[in-house]
Amino acid sequence: MRAANVIFRRELSEYLRSPLGYIVAATVLLLDGLLFYSQALGPAAGERLSGEVLARFFYNTSGLVAIAAVALSIRLIAEERQTGTLVLLSTSPVREWEIVVGKFFSALVFLGGITLVSIYMPLLIMVNGKISLGQVFVGYTGLILIGAACLAIGVFATALTRHQLVAVAVAATTTAVMFLFWWLSLVIDPPLSRVAAGLAMHARHFQGFQDGALNLRDVFYYLAVTYFFLLVAIKVMEAKRWE
Partner 1 sequence: MIHASDLIKYFGGKRALGPVGFEIRTGETVGFLGLNGAGKSTLLRILSCDLRPSGGSFSIRGIDGVRDPHAVRQLVGFLPEVPPLYGDMSVGEYLRFAGLLRGMSTEQVAARVPEVEQLTHTANVHGELIRHLSHGYRQRVGLAQAIVHEPEFLILDEPTKGLDPAQIAEMRTLIRGLKDRHTVLISSHILPEIRETCDRLLVLRDGVLVASGTPQELSARLQSRRIAVTVLPNHDSLEPAAIEASIRRVHGVRNVTSTGRVDGALSFVVEAASDIRAEVCRTLVGEGHGVIRLDRADQELENVFLELVQGASSASG
Q: How many CA atoms lie within 13 A of 163 on its CB side?
A: 4
- Give the length of the chain: 243
Which listed residue (22, 42, 92, 198) binds partner 1 by CB under 8 A? Answer: 92
Name which of 29 and 234 has its Cβ closer to partner 1: 234
Preceding omega of 93 cis (within 30 degrees of 0): no
Binding status of residue 24 toward partner 1 by CB under 8 A: no
Q: Which stretch binds partner 1 (CB under 8 A): 2-10, 132-140, 146-154, 179-187?
A: 2-10
Binding status of residue 93 toward partner 1 by CB under 8 A: yes
CB of 108 to partner 1, least distance (A): 20
Binding status of residue 243 toward partner 1 by CB under 8 A: yes
Burial of 129 (0-12, 13-18, 19+ CB in 10 A): middle
Angle 199-181-134 (CA atoms, 0-180°, nearest 5)? Answer: 60
Binding status of residue 23 toward partner 1 by CB under 8 A: no
Name which of 106 and 115 has its Cβ closer to partner 1: 106
Buried b (16+ CB within 10 A) or exposed e, 47-65: eeebbebbbbbbbbbbbbb
> What is residue 119's DSSP assignment?
T
Q: Which stretch binds partner 1 (CB under 8 A): 11-19, 28-36, 170-178, 215-223?
A: 11-19
CB of 104 to partner 1, least distance (A): 17
Angle 108-113-114 (CA atoms, 0-180°, nearest 5)? Answer: 100
Binding status of residue 16 toward partner 1 by CB under 8 A: no
The three-class DSSP label of residue 124 is helix
Q: What x-and-dash track marks residues 51-90 binding partner 1 by CB under 8 A?
A: ---------------------------------xxxxxxx
> Using CB under 8 A as the criterion, which residues of the chain lie in contact with partner 1 when the complex forms?
2-3, 6-7, 10, 14, 17-18, 84-95, 241-243
